[in-house]
Structure 1
Amino acid sequence: MLGLALRRTRRLLAAGAAVGLLFATTGCLRLDLGLEVAPDDTVNGSFTAAWSEDFLESASTGENPLSRAELDAFLNALLDGVPDAERVPYDDHGFVGQTAEFSGRPLTEFAEFGGDEWGYLRITHEDRRYLLDGHWDLRTAGFLDTESFEGAEILLSVNFPARVAEHNGELDGRTVTWTMTPGEQYDLSAEAVQYNGWAWFAASVASLVVVLALLWLWQWTRLRRHSLH
């Protein structure tokens, strides 16, 4: 599902640039993929495609003006790559568009994505460890042509149901975010480790036993000294 969405996005953007539908505007486009891994090994998520308000204003008055309907149709085509998703309006920090939301997808669907020119992304759950690794090559010809989409924002965020032990993105609580731009390549990695309740309980019991033993030994020593006097 995710791989399909990204491949469709790349093809559509390439086609848009090729026929001259879009022109160079810094920060004109935002693509934001957010995933939340649940403790039951299902995934909830959203894929946002949005234009900047500045771009929308300039697009209607440029040399080759574009209507809002044409631009909205372009975003709709991008979001068609996310099947069985609910569409909701998006309006945040000067960007407007749509978000496709989905829930309850099996984590196994995210075990292997890619194999195309752009790279791959994997999220797996092994024992008590959630592992994410990936490689996105945004230099690939046809993926967000850098001349037409200079400064486009590409965001990927993953919320884990466990403490994040290692990552190479930006961490906020249990959410790791990677911020990317066309023309670059990125290696993505993160590891989250589940809390082991039984191990904590065993360690707590052992610590309690040690404390009680030391208290008993201290008390016994005091009583013995007192009896000798």
Structure 2
Amino acid sequence: MLGLLTRRVLLAAAALGLLVATSGCLRLDLGLQVRPDDTVGGEFTAAWSDEFAAQAADQGLDQAQLDAFLDALLDGVPGTERTPYTEGGYTGYTATFTNRPLADFADFGGDDWGYLRLDHSGREYTLDSHWDLRAAGFLDPAAFEGAEILVSVDFPARVTEHNGELEGRTVTWTMTPGDEYDLTATAVENDGRAFLIIGIAFVVVVCGLLWLWQWRRLRRFSVGNPSAQGR
């Protein structure tokens, strides 16, 4: 998906012809939700800033041309549901996909700009990704100054290591054209056997304490206990 994304960005930018250098002109937001059954759902948003859209109109770019650029991006996403997006001064579209096999993300990308790999082995989920956004062929930093590229992954397990921003079980990375990025994260499932052992041990301890309390109570009030007979 991201490999297709980079190629489509290049083709669409060339087709668009002229782009005004505007800080934060474009937002690309990929969100993945990894599920316990090893399927992946998610959303990909492509949106222009309202400021850029206004400046582009002044330079002769109509809304149809801007929408065509976003369409070229969204066509690379394996989703059929597309909805309008308006948030934080950006307007565009969001494509949604569901129930993609995790294996589809085992070796994702792999072109000149980067890759993203998601894996589940045993109780551990790992993400390893590298993106070189210095290449002008991806998003020319001179034309897309401050463009916002967001990648977030929601894991079905506790995140133990990451180099992004963590909220709950979701790790988010923010990138911009002109820099190079390494994205890493590890999430580990709870060991069900450990919980079972702890539960059994707890039951044994409780039963032992109840038995000890009952034995002492019976011993105290038994016929053979002198203190009990004297009452």
Instruction: Give the TM-score normalised by the residue count of structure 2.
Output: 0.87
| 1:39 paired residue number | 36
| 2:129 paired residue number | 134
Q: Distance in 2 between matches of 1:146 and 1:53?
A: 19
**CA positional deviation for 1:165:** 1.5
Q: Distance in 1 between matches of 2:191 and 2:91?
A: 43
Q: Give runs of aligned pairs for residues 76-155 of structure 1, distance below 5 A.
A: 76-155=71-150
| 1:29 paired residue number | 26
CA deviation profile, 1:191-221 (whole Å, cap 9, x unmatched): 1112233320221211332354456557767
The farther-off stretch of 204-213 and 112-121 is 204-213
CA deviation profile, 1:159-197 (whole Å, cap 9, x unmatched): 111111111111111111101111111111111112233
Q: Distance in 2 between matches of 1:122 and 1:196?
A: 24
Kept in 2: contact 1:6–1:81 (CA 8 A): no
| 2:70 paired residue number | 75
Percent of aligned pairs with the same residue?
Answer: 63
AA partner of residue 33 (structure 1): L
| 2:7 paired residue number | 7
AA partner of residue 119 (structure 1): G
AA partner of residue 201 (structure 2): A
Equivalent pairs counted in the alignment come to 224
Unaligned runs of 5+ in 1: none
AA partner of residue 7 (structure 2): R
Q: State the SS of the aligned residue for 2:58.
A: coil
Q: Which has the larger radius of gyration?
A: 2
**CA positional deviation for 1:99:** 1.0
| C-alpha RMSD of the superposition | 2.2
**CA positional deviation for 1:91:** 0.6
Kindly tell me: are residues 128 and 10 of structure 1, through their superposed partners in 2, closer, same or farther at Cα, counting changes over 3 Å?
farther
Kindly tell me: are residues 106 and 176 of structure 1, through their superposed partners in 2, closer, same or farther at Cα, counting changes over 3 Å?
same
**CA positional deviation for 1:225:** 9.5
| 2:151 paired residue number | 156
| 1:209 paired residue number | 204
Kept in 2: contact 1:30–1:50 (CA 8 A): yes
Q: State the SS of the aligned residue for 1:78.
A: helix
Kindly tell me: are residues 228 and 144 of structure 1, through their superposed partners in 2, closer, same or farther at Cα, counting changes over 3 Å?
farther
